[in-house]
Structure 1
Amino acid sequence: MESVRVQLSGRRVKAYGRIVAAATDSHPAFGASYDLVTDESGATKRLSLTVTLAERERQISMARDEENMWLIQDHLNQTKRSGFEGALDVDVIFSPFFNALPIRRTGLYEVAEAVVLPVVYVRMPDLSVSLEQTSYSSNEAGITLVSPVAETVVTVDEHGFILDYPGLAERI
């Protein structure tokens, strides 16, 4: 389950969200909270993410500068600086909200086209970060999304936010 409070100003997004995940064969139960800010184009500028498990809490902070370099500080206070091949978006596993960011930024909810984008990919609950490719292709049925963990067709509202992500979430 995910709950997000979103503030919009043009393509700029400020969001505060929470994710609650039950235990499965692939991961333990966990809770997560995040705070996100994009720039005026809708590209991710800053993300703070906290994951809480029964035995510990971990945090990660990410920021993208004017030269599109990412500075990532993990729960061990280790800092990594990388260009992530020009990635402008972050994708957090288990969150349909983060898939809306590149959809909104590229305008895929308004016109039919296809894009393949580099993304800074955050896996939960371990908060590992990697560069991944995600493709989006819009048509009358919705937006086909191919990520490292899913291939599905999502539907979006008139603002580009996810209404239905089959197998993961449905907006209520």
Structure 2
Amino acid sequence: MKEEKVMWQSKSPIGCEYLKLIQYPQEITAQGTVIYADEKDAYKVMYQIELEKNWVTKSVEVAVEGKDHTLHLRSNGMGDWWSNDTYLEGMQGAIDVDISVTPFSNSLPINRFEWAVGERKSFHMLYIDVPSLELLQLKQHYTLVNEDEGKRFFQYECRDYKTTIRVDQDGLVEDYPGLFTREF
């Protein structure tokens, strides 16, 4: 078993996140707590993602303090999703989730594959908007643009947004310009 603790500072919206990542021989568990404030309110968000050892998502739970419900999702690992035993039409093909308030979401597609510099991959993501917990399917693109001393730099694209994120040797974000910085 390998356990790693990570802390990110969020720049927009203002906040922070604590993540505990536990890698067992056959599975991975990510447990995160995000605290942030926007122009309307302050929020506490807790999530847990269960992954197969190859970083394929099996289940996701997201709770926003003060919301009436907790989002429970499960996947067959082949792009089909259920929420509380209800099949989610329109989400077919999404293997990974993207929880809007955490940079950990970027680690999921990055860690599922081996990458070569210049290689571009496209992913259908099950996007979870926080605090509403609304679901969308979004297409995202990652291109490995550089590797330097154990750091990897990925160009990330979604809709009209484009940036270059830096990740460590474990695929965890260290710098997401304008949004997240790893503090620990």
For 1:41, the equivalent position in structure 2 comes to: 54
Which of 81, 93, 106 is residue 70 of structure 1 equivalent to? 81
Question: Higher strand proportion, which one?
Answer: 2
Which sections of structure 2, spanning at least 5 residues, go unmatched? 1-15, 148-152
With over 3 angstroms needed to count, the CA separation of the structure-2 counterparts of 1:61 and 1:148, relative to structure 1, is farther
With over 3 angstroms needed to count, the CA separation of the structure-2 counterparts of 1:66 and 1:36, relative to structure 1, is closer
The answer to whether the 8 Å contact 1:70/1:83 transfers is no
- Tell me the matched-pair count: 162
1:18-71 residue CA offsets vs partner (Å, 9 max, x unmatched):
1111122xx532110011111132111100110124xx4431011002654210
Moved more, 11-20 or 157-166: 11-20
Task: Tell me how far apart the structure 2 counterparts of residues 10 and 90 of structure 1 sit (CA, whole Å).
Answer: 22
Which sections of structure 1, spanning at least 5 residues, go unmatched? none
Task: Tell me how far apart the structure 2 counterparts of residues 95 and 89 of structure 1 sit (CA, whole Å).
Answer: 14
Is 2:103 the counterpart of 1:90?
no
1:99-122 residue CA offsets vs partner (Å, 9 max, x unmatched):
1111111234xx221111001000
Identical amino acids, percent of aligned pairs: 24
For 2:127, the equivalent position in structure 1 comes to: 121
Task: Tell me how far apart the structure 1 counterparts of residues 79 and 136 of structure 2 sit (CA, whole Å).
Answer: 16
Which of 13, 30, 48 is residue 15 of structure 1 equivalent to? 30
* Shift, 1:80, TM fit: 3.8
Task: Tell me how far apart the structure 1 counterparts of residues 61 and 108 of structure 2 sit (CA, whole Å).
Answer: 16
For 1:137, the equivalent position in structure 2 comes to: 143
The answer to whether the 8 Å contact 2:78/2:93 transfers is no
* RMSD, aligned CA: 2.2
1:109-166 residue CA offsets vs partner (Å, 9 max, x unmatched):
xx22111100100001000001110110111171011125842110000111111111
With over 3 angstroms needed to count, the CA separation of the structure-2 counterparts of 1:134 and 1:128, relative to structure 1, is same
AA in 2 matched with 1:156: V
